[in-house]
Amino acid sequence: MDSEEDLTFWYALTMIFAAIFLLVAVYFDWLSVSFFVGPLRFGHWLGVLGTLFIAFFTPTYYVLKRRYPRRLRVMLNVHIFGTLFSFILISIHFAQQMSRPPQFYPDLGTGVISYIATLILVLTGFLHRFRLLEGGRVYPPHRNRFLHLSITFTFYLVVVFHTLRNFGLV
């Protein structure tokens, strides 16, 4: 990796550690995001914002990187850091939900699956972007395409069902 790639790697890794730290801090109530903002708790709004960014920017990135290949590095950085920031927001939401008292504990079905799908997307993207499983070697860019697309499809499917279920529509 060159120095710019090294810097990108360390920033991305720092964001992953920030997500872990914030997940733990919210879970143990060292940081509270349980206050209401309008009809929903703040932690819930964070999850919604993170999910919306991933849901809308992922297909946008796919189209724009083909339409404007000269701007690929900028778009890739927006994709990487936007998704990592979204993952932080979603992790805060997940931790807030998991730390609820027993009498208000959520049904874990679609929320856990959604978080696991998001986690796998972040991990496979991180491993793929920085070629960590390949010892730093360059390999065809779509080597893990099937896995990443499958998990992306799972993400969209579960998020739709999670949303419909939580609004009482399913």
pLDDT digits (tens, 9 = 90+) for 108-144: 778 899 999 999 999 988 888 887 776 656 555 566 6
What average pLDDT does the segment 29-58 reach? 96
pLDDT at 58: 92
Stated pTM of the model: 0.92
pLDDT at 95: 96
Q: What are phi and psi of 39, to 5 degrees?
A: -80, -10
pLDDT at 86: 98
Check if the beta carbon of residue 152 is closer than 8 Å to that of residue 158.
no
Q: Domain total for the chain?
A: 1
**End-to-end C-alpha distance for the chain, whole angstroms:** 48
Question: What residue numbers bound the domain in which 73 lies?
Answer: 3-166
Residue 11, pLDDT > 60, answer yes
Give the residue ranges of DSSP H helices in 33-137: 42-67, 72-98, 109-129
User: Any idea what DSSP says for residue 104?
Assistant: G
14 against 136, higher pLDDT: 14
pLDDT at 107: 76
Q: What is the pLDDT of residues 58-117, one digit of tens each?
A: 999 999 999 999 999 999 999 999 999 999 999 999 999 999 888 888 777 788 999 999
User: How many beta carbons lie within 10 A of that of residue 21, not counting itself?
Assistant: 14
What average pLDDT does the segment 11-18 reach? 97
Query: Which residue has 């419909």 as its token pair?
Result: 164
pLDDT at 148: 79
